[in-house]
Amino acid sequence: MKSLVGCSLLLFLFVLPAAAGTSPAAEEVQVALLQSSADSADRWNTLNPKRLKLRSRAALILDHDGHVIYGKAVDEPRPIASITKLMTAMVILDAGLPMQEKLKITKQDRDLLRLTGSRLKYGATLTREKLLRLALMASENRAAAALARTFPGGRGAFVAAMNRKARELGMTHSRFADPTGLDAGNMASPRDLARMVRAALNYPLIREATTTRTTEVRPYRKRGPLRFGNTNRLLRNKAWQIELSKTGYINEAGRCLVMQARIAGEPMTIVLLDSFGKLTPFGDSNRIRKWIEKGLKG
């Protein structure tokens, strides 16, 4: 089973320092960690991957310790569409820019690649924080574009920062070309996206924004509020405990979904890429949840 790979890696990582001459106390800790990781991996042996029929062409499920519970094409880079915006958010937050600074949407923020529309018309003004929240929860492309445009050094410097952050996270099968995900040049493997999801968990604003179901903003002085909804419909399902999520879609990427969620009380990282149907990632997610819950019950 693929989880055995995780065990081998952990064995290497923890045994190597002991060979260098650690103290008896340190060796006891290493043995305890090895036992803990082995126990964690053994728990998933009751799950039969052949019984999990996913429609997504690439998928990865990791437990809290990073063991692979299920994987399909895990190291193949693919277009990731708006999953990109998780990286956009981390770069903005890492930069320490003033989040209450007001930014204005301009013609520079329009989508000339796919000609998608937006409810944020030219002149719409919101704080950097609110634009970031809309980019994450509602996948607002002009919001993401404005965040990159107003980054120190502009869009080019921003994309460079995205790729630098990816390297820092060990995303060796990834590259970023724009902040929105509209460019099919935004590529990553499922394993790399799992790394990105786990890194994004360290940002409270990202966790909160990606799990907020609806929000209202007032980008125009003489008009009422605009209401935006989250693109992940699973947030409306009480069977799910979701801690972070992001959806994505362009033709080249298909339907995509990444999540950090609790299933049967266990934290799970889920990556689903290149699904054909609009609802397929959500269907696959429910298949995963039922497969794990049923398998653990024996």
Indicate which residue of 3, 56, 139, 174 is catalytic: 139
Measured between alpha carbons, how far is 145 from 148 in angstroms, rounded to an integer? Answer: 5
Give me 254's structure tokens: 């298909």
At 271 the three-state DSSP class reads: strand
| Catalytic residue, candidates 37, 40, 56, 82 | 82
Tokens of 231: 């693109």
Contact 65, 35 (CB under 8 A): no
Contact 126, 102 (CB under 8 A): yes
Residues 6 or more apart whose Cβ sits within 8 Å of residue 9:
none
In angstroms, the CA 242 to CA 177 distance is 28
- Of the residues 37, 56, 85, 165, only one is catalytic, namely 85
Strand partners, 72: 59
| Residue 266 three-state SS | strand
Whether 82 sits among the annotated catalytic residues: the reply is yes
- CA torsion sign, 21 to 25 to 31 to 34? negative
130 among annotated binding-site residues: no
Rounded to an integer, what distance in angstroms lies between the CA atom of residue 193 and that of residue 15? 28
Please state whether beta strands 68-72 and 58-62 pair in parallel, antiparallel, or not at all (unpaired): antiparallel
Quote the strand ranges of 117-265, DSSP E.
125-127, 187-188, 214-217, 226-229, 241-250, 254-263
Cβ atoms 207, 132 nearer than 8 A: no
Tell me, yes or no, if 139 is annotated catalytic: yes
Q: Which residues are annotated as a binding site for substrate?
A: 246
Q: Which residues are annotated as a binding site?
A: 246
Residue positions annotated with a catalytic role = 82, 85, 139
